[in-house]
Amino acid sequence: MDVREAARAALGFSSLRPGQEEAMSAALEGRDVLAVMPTGHGKSALYQVPAAVLGGVTVVVSPLIALQRDQVRALASHPGVPRPWALNSTSSARRLERMWSSLEAGDPGFVFLAPEQLAREDVLARLATLAVRLFVVDEAHCISAWGHDFRPDYLRLGSAVERLGRPRVVALTATASAPVREEIVERLGLREPVVVVRGFNRPNIHLDVRREVTDGDKRRDVVECVAALGGRGLLYVGTRKVTTTYAHALRERGLRAAAYHGGLKADERRAAHEQFTTGSVDVVVATSAFGMGIDRADVRFVVHESVPASPDSYYQEIGRAGRDGEPSSAVLFYRPEDFGVHRFHGAATPDVDVLRRVFAEVSKDDPGVRLAELRGRLDLPARRVTRAVNLLEQAGALRVARSRVSAVAMTHQEAVDAAVEVSESAERVERSRTEMMRGYAETTGCRRRFLLGYLGETLDDPCGHCDTCEAGLSEAPAPAPEGESFPVDSRVSHRQWGDGIVLSTESDRLTVLFEREGYRVLSREAVESEQLLTLARPA
């Protein structure tokens, strides 16, 4: 069947957007796909249409219950696609039994679930008996942004794919620089994937940064800003406590505002999400837990009361504004002290005792042990065990294949030391991301050019639609020299910091992401005079 005809039959599409047909065709041909497309570009269709053609079961990894609920609701209105099911903690036993009965009878269907569900042996084993034709990772940037710590089960998705018989994989995200794309490919074990990337530039979003001196000034100015912007919007804040403080202040200004954070009861989170989606509130004041899958194209502003940990997070969050292409605003408030908070929270020392216990337990079994069994043996929280396994695997001390963990021949101390070094390297990378966020906040150049350069996309001239451009501060940077020795996306090696990838180049500087050290801005003069970099191989 022609892809365009399939899209018309399944979803009623009269046309396809750039990149959609390429990604759908690749999936139908049995290829793995990584698609990086702006919010609102129709990424969900990239797996929905192939699923309708292939039949069988499509497993969709989706990080939030609210997002799963929205996806199920949207698919239920299209009779031309398989039936959608959600497998999560809010699913009743009766509904789950209906789901399993339907799928085991051979009915085609979507199964939406979080990565933690796939970490359960009973769920994974039962899915493995089904005809899983397609494995989808929605919000795939979570593999990089969350997988190292907050959501460690994201790093186990590659093993889940193998356990399910290695169906074709489709990974989707709105924001992923070249290094993040490489990490997604590696973590999921994608095989010669078709990578479809559409530009990150969202010129309709006006970028603005406002520096504050005191917390009191910032609180006052944030409320004034949100009240003045008008329309529907999101206010991101740094702590759960202040969500209610700001929501109350905005209601006093006549705005319909709701608070949202991960500590609220499930029904309270659901209510805030639905109120924003249906338009019964104007502003949601939220921590970063809110926003994925927001199904509104008319969000007019995204304001940040605190500095996100990285430009990746920031760009993902402001991308929820202006999906309809109409003028929108992204405003960041910050105090210089805010960056110290990120350094404090980012300092997560690995638990050496847990690392040692995990390696010792795995070493007892020559053929290896299943991850689920390992968690039970150690009588430790599942997340701590999974994080330890992730670190030891990245350090080369453990191997994981089809959910079975086996040890490499080394001493317990060697394994622990190697895992600690991996953790410390990840921490250096996170600190460098925070410093790049500081660079965005404090630059006197074009802010859009800074963000796009971080993501590996070139903007030759100032955008004219950010606060620095409007203040007359931005100037077109001098171009990189002709015959650039270190072009964007090239692999390089630094004699102290090791291997890296070039993200952006200018006449006087290079921005490089080093695998072990993170983001560094290098003086071109120093690079050339001291021969700091060597070109490793073409990207």
CATH number at 312 reads 3.40.50.300
Q: Please indicate, yes or no, if residue 524 is contained in any of the structural domains.
A: yes
- pTM to 2 decimal places: 0.81
Q: How confident is the model at residue 370 (pLDDT cuts 50, 70, 90)?
A: confident
The pLDDT of residue 291 is 65
Q: Tell which of 164, 197, 230 closes a domain.
A: 197
Domain match, 183 and 209 both: no
Q: Tell me the mean pLDDT in the region 515-530.
A: 89
The pLDDT of residue 338 is 84
The pLDDT of residue 532 is 92
Domain match, 211 and 190 both: no
User: What is the full DSSP assignment across 166-177?
Assistant: --EEEEEES---
Q: Tell which of 154, 172, 197 closes a domain.
A: 197
- Per-residue pLDDT reduced to its tens digit, 153-203: 888 899 899 999 999 999 999 878 778 888 899 989 999 999 999 878 899
Region class of 345: left (phi > 0), else alpha (psi between -120 and 50), else beta: alpha
Domain match, 173 and 157 both: yes
Q: What integer best gives the mean pLDDT of the chain?
A: 89
Strand order in the sheet with 33-36: 83-87, 109-113, 57-61, 132-137, 168-173, 33-36, 194-197
The pLDDT of residue 139 is 86
Give me the amino acid identity at 476.
A
Strand 109-113 relative to strand 257-260, pairing: unpaired
Domain match, 308 and 367 both: no
| Closest of 193, 143, 135, 195 to residue 169, by C-alpha | 135
Q: Please indicate, yes or no, if residue 290 is contained in any of the structural domains.
A: yes
Domain match, 383 and 273 both: no
Q: Please indicate, yes or no, if residue 451 is contained in any of the structural domains.
A: no
| Res 414 pLDDT > 60 | yes
Q: What is the helix (H) or strand (E) element at residue 72, kind and residue range?
A: helix 65-76
Q: What share of the chain is helix, strand, coil (3-state, %, to 5)?
A: 45, 20, 40
Q: How confident is the model at residue 45 (pLDDT cuts 50, 70, 90)?
A: very high
Domain match, 144 and 12 both: yes
Domain match, 391 and 300 both: no
Percent of the chain's residues with pLDDT above 90: 53
Domain match, 43 and 149 both: yes
Q: Tell me the mean pLDDT in the region 82-101.
A: 93
Q: Contact at 8 Å (CB) between 34 and 171?
A: yes
Domain match, 274 and 181 both: no
Q: Contact at 8 Å (CB) between 453 and 519?
A: no
What is the distance between the alpha carbons of residues 495 and 31, in angstroms, rounded to a whole number? 38
Distance set, CA 481 to CA 238, 259, 524 (Å)? 42, 50, 10
Q: Please indicate, yes or no, if residue 418 is contained in any of the structural domains.
A: no
What is the distance between the alpha carbons of residues 123 and 88, in angstroms, rounded to a whole number? 11
What is the distance between the alpha carbons of residues 512 and 538, in angstroms, rounded to a whole number? 15
Q: Tell me the mean pLDDT in the region 233-249.
A: 94
The pLDDT of residue 293 is 56
> Which residues have CB under 8 Å from 323's CB, separation 6+?
39, 40, 296, 297, 298, 299
Q: Please indicate, yes or no, if residue 431 is contained in any of the structural domains.
A: no
Residue with tokens 């949202």: 260
What are φ and ψ of residue 98, in 5° steps? -60, -40
The pLDDT of residue 410 is 94
The pLDDT of residue 393 is 92
Q: Tell me the mean pLDDT in the region 308-331.
A: 91
Q: How confident is the model at residue 294 (pLDDT cuts 50, 70, 90)?
A: low
- Per-residue pLDDT reduced to its tens digit, 466-481: 999 999 988 776 666 7
Q: Please indicate, yes or no, if residue 458 is contained in any of the structural domains.
A: no
Please indicate whether residue 244 or residue 179 has the higher confidence score (pLDDT): 244
Domain match, 29 and 136 both: yes
Q: What is the helix (H) or strand (E) element at residue 157, kind and residue range?
A: helix 157-163
Distance set, CA 298 to CA 66, 124, 234, 294 (Å)? 19, 39, 11, 11
The pLDDT of residue 539 is 45
Domain span at residue 388?
Answer: 352-413
What is the distance between the alpha carbons of residues 318 and 403, in angstroms, rounded to a whole number? 37
Question: Is residue 21 classed as helix, strand or coil in its secondary structure?
Answer: helix
Could you tell me the CATH number of the domain that includes residue 490? 2.30.30.140
User: What is the full DSSP assignment across 338-389?
Assistant: HHHHHHHHH-----HHHHHHHHHHHHT-SS-EEHHHHHHHHTS-HHHHHHHH
Q: Please indicate, yes or no, if residue 126 is contained in any of the structural domains.
A: yes
Question: Is residue 83 classed as helix, strand or coil in its secondary structure?
Answer: strand
Could you tell me the CATH number of the domain that includes residue 371? 1.10.10.10
- Per-residue pLDDT reduced to its tens digit, 10-30: 998 989 988 999 999 999 999
| Long-range Cβ contacts of 90-94 (<8 Å, 24+ apart) | 90/65, 90/266
Q: Tell which of 286, 309, 335 closes a domain.
A: 335
The pLDDT of residue 343 is 55
Q: How confident is the model at residue 347 (pLDDT cuts 50, 70, 90)?
A: very low
What is the distance between the alpha carbons of residues 36 and 43, in angstroms, rounded to a whole number? 8
What is the domain count for the chain?
4
Domain match, 406 and 482 both: no
What is the distance between the alpha carbons of residues 349 and 157, in angstroms, rounded to a whole number? 24
Beta bridge partners of 194: 33
- Per-residue pLDDT reduced to its tens digit, 62-81: 887 777 888 898 898 888 89
Q: How confident is the model at residue 537 (pLDDT cuts 50, 70, 90)?
A: low
The pLDDT of residue 60 is 97
Q: Tell me the mean pLDDT in the region 390-405.
A: 87
Q: How confident is the model at residue 292 (pLDDT cuts 50, 70, 90)?
A: low
Q: Contact at 8 Å (CB) between 423 and 349?
A: yes
Q: Contact at 8 Å (CB) between 416 and 391?
A: no
| Closest of 169, 178, 114 to residue 142, by C-alpha | 114
Q: Please indicate, yes or no, if residue 231 is contained in any of the structural domains.
A: yes
Domain match, 382 and 245 both: no
